[in-house]
Amino acid sequence: MPTIQRRMPRILLAILILLVAAQYVQAQQQPEVDMYRPTVMPDRIVLTWAGDPATTQAVTWRTDATVKDASAQIAVADPDPNFKGQDVAATTVTLDNKLWSANYHSVNFTGLKPDTTYAYRVGDGTHWSEWFQFRTASDKPNPFSFIYFGDVQNGIRSLWSRVIREAFRAAPDAKFMVFGGDLVTDGSSDTLWGEFFGGGSWIYGMVPTLPTPGNHEYRDNDKGSSNVTRHWRAQFTLPENGPSGLEEYAYYTDIQGVRMISIASNEKTDEQTAWLNQVLSNNPNKWTIAFFHHPIFSPAKGRDQAKLRAAWMPIFEKYKVDLVLNGHDHTYGRTGLEGGTVYLTSVSGQKMYELNKQPWMKRAAENTQLFQVISIDGDKLSVQTRTATGSLYDAFELTKQPGKANVLVDRIPADVPERVRSSN
């Protein structure tokens, strides 16, 4: 007993030190957490599409749970600051997490004029966002560009933010932005989503987003199964034209002569195979681009998606899909024409894997943050892969030939060496 009594002060002191340390860590983290606490003011304002991009525009935003009756206002943009917006009531869902409750509001503007600039704002009648502007798509196959981002996932606030801002500088007239999954490293973390929306800030409110879910958007629930985080459908308003149970994960949208197809590569491969056949067999567009998380050709060492390749690559080749955009492997690899389709895997965030250099790679890279600017103009599709500092790293062009396979012309900059380890 005396020995235990002598030890008690030391044990109590150790407990006290641990408690003080925990409080210190919490105090250090609290300011960063508080950055993302919802208020009555709208935040995380993001444009997406749920319908025809020429005549509709969806917008989603977040407030604290006290805001029940949210709405948006929209008007044809006018240089006269006295324009009046038309009120549109919002649909609201409540999302609880470990930190707080928040309300997510969404509006789908309909009956819009094609190829027209609109101004809009969101709020509750008292607390309004600033006025944003967007331009509807044309109802004709006019030329346009969009931006692609491979995995964001890590270092979002500190290092990825520069990538989206550089991409906007490279393509300020981009019609939309595509995200290839793993937008955050933990899809159930509200603060990480705060970093994601903070990184792009007002860009999301002006340039529509087309995201596809990655494995990090899937998180185990209390019933022991893995589902897409509840944040996904709360904060993105997307088409519901995919297979049953995959609405707003697997979907497609047609814009100015291009069919964009999101595939949920984490689940239900067979169900989506049948859906893909249907979507591709009834496709009036000149160009077709598919995007999903897991790559058909894996550029990272020790990784392969043989099941997906066996299931979907024959369909892409059968229906002459022009371009497939992937992520997941945190390296860069791009094919030539594999039966008529180009497959490109990229990464935009901080997390990097080791490259597995392979013969199919026309261009490869590791330890390099990248984004793609993809442009369509009539019979030509061009892709530029740029680094986080804006420099051109890879480029190629596809040209349509009636009744024949596309013609691919590489435009790789001759004075830029591949960013790979010499041992590969």
In a domain, 396, yes or no: yes
In a domain, 35, yes or no: no
Do the strands 86-89 and 71-76 form a parallel or antiparallel pair, or are they unpaired?
antiparallel
CA 38, 42, 48, 51 torsion-angle sign: positive
Six-digit token string for 79: 């240089």
190, 191, 193, 194 alpha-carbon torsion, rounded to 10°: 120
Residues 120 and 151 both lie in one domain: no
Mean pLDDT of 39-53: 98
Q: Any idea which residue has 């019979």 for tokens?
A: 379
In a domain, 422, yes or no: no
- Given this model, what pLDDT does residue 33 score? 81
The total of other beta-carbon atoms located within 10 Å of residue 8's CB is 10
The answer, yes or no, to whether residue 289 has pLDDT greater than 90, is yes
In a domain, 3, yes or no: no
Six-digit token string for 318: 């059968």
Residues 326 and 344 both lie in one domain: yes
In a domain, 11, yes or no: no
The answer, yes or no, to whether residue 115 has pLDDT greater than 70, is yes
Q: What is the pLDDT of residues 304-342, one digit of tens each?
A: 999 999 999 999 999 999 999 999 999 999 999 998 999
- Containing H/E element for 346? none
Residues 129 and 148 both lie in one domain: no
- Given this model, what pLDDT does residue 31 score? 52
Residues 152 and 130 both lie in one domain: no
Burial of residue 6, with CB atoms counted within 10 A of its CB: 0-12 exposed, 13-18 middle, 19 or more buried? exposed
The answer, yes or no, to whether residue 252 has pLDDT greater than 80, is yes
- Containing H/E element for 193? helix 190-200
Residues 99 and 180 both lie in one domain: no
CB 146 within 8 A of CB 175: yes
150: nearest Cα among 295, 266, 276, 337: 295
Give how far Cα 291 sits from Cα of 10, 109, 186, 220, 346, Å: 59, 26, 21, 24, 12
Domain that residue 56 falls in: 43-135
Residues 287 and 211 both lie in one domain: yes
- Given this model, what pLDDT does residue 11 score? 62
The answer, yes or no, to whether residue 30 has pLDDT greater than 70, is no
Of 135, 154, 173, the position where a domain reaches its end is 135
Q: What is the pLDDT of residues 144-181, one digit of tens each?
A: 999 999 999 999 999 999 999 999 999 999 999 999 99
- Given this model, what pLDDT does residue 339 score? 86
Residues 98 and 200 both lie in one domain: no
The answer, yes or no, to whether residue 223 has pLDDT greater than 60, is no
Q: What is the pLDDT of residues 82-102, one digit of tens each?
A: 999 999 999 999 999 889 999
Of 112, 135, 158, the position where a domain reaches its end is 135
| Least trusted range by pLDDT, from 24-38, 108-122, 377-391, 405-419 | 24-38
CATH number at residue 387: 3.60.21.10
- Given this model, what pLDDT does residue 421 score? 83
Compute the mean pLDDT over every residue in the chain, rounded to the nearest whole number.
92
Provide the 8-state DSSP code for 204.
T
Residues 391 and 357 both lie in one domain: yes
pLDDT classification of 422: cutoffs 50, 70, 90? low
Residues 167 and 191 both lie in one domain: yes
pLDDT classification of 27: cutoffs 50, 70, 90? very low
312, 406, 338, 386 alpha-carbon torsion, rounded to 10°: -100
Of 135, 159, 192, the position where a domain reaches its end is 135
What domain count does the chain have?
Answer: 2
Residues 325 and 223 both lie in one domain: yes
- Given this model, what pLDDT does residue 365 score? 98
The answer, yes or no, to whether residue 212 has pLDDT greater than 70, is yes
The answer, yes or no, to whether residue 119 has pLDDT greater than 60, is yes
Residues 200 and 271 both lie in one domain: yes
Q: Any idea which residue has 């990248």 for tokens?
A: 370
pLDDT classification of 72: cutoffs 50, 70, 90? very high
In a domain, 109, yes or no: yes
CATH number at residue 53: 2.60.40.380
Residues 95 and 168 both lie in one domain: no
pLDDT classification of 221: cutoffs 50, 70, 90? low
Mean pLDDT of 401-405: 88
Mean pLDDT of 223-248: 88
The total of other beta-carbon atoms located within 10 Å of residue 301's CB is 14
Give the global pTM: 0.91
